[in-house]
Amino acid sequence: MEQQQAGLPFQSAPHDALRQGLCNLREDVLPPHPVQTIQEAGRADGGKPGMLRQLYGVALPARMQIEQQILGRFARLPGALPSSRLGLESLTGALDEFAYESYLGQPQDSEVAPPDTHSLMEQRLGLAPATKPVARGII
Q: What is the mean pLDDT of the chain?
A: 76
- Pick the more confident residue, 2 or 72: 72
Distance CA 49, CA 66 (A): 13
40-94: per-residue pLDDT in tens? 876 765 667 778 888 999 999 899 999 999 998 877 777 666 778 888 888 888 8
For residue 9, give the DSSP letter: P
Q: Specify the pTM.
A: 0.47
78-91: per-residue pLDDT in tens? 766 677 888 888 88
Q: Distance between the two ends of the chain, CA-based, in angstroms? A: 75
> Residue 69's pLDDT is what?
92
27-37: per-residue pLDDT in tens? 667 778 888 88
CB neighbour list of residue 29: distance below 8 Å, 6 or more residues apart: 6, 8, 9
Please check whether residue 93 is in contact with residue 87, taking contact to mean a CB–CB distance below 8 angstroms.
no
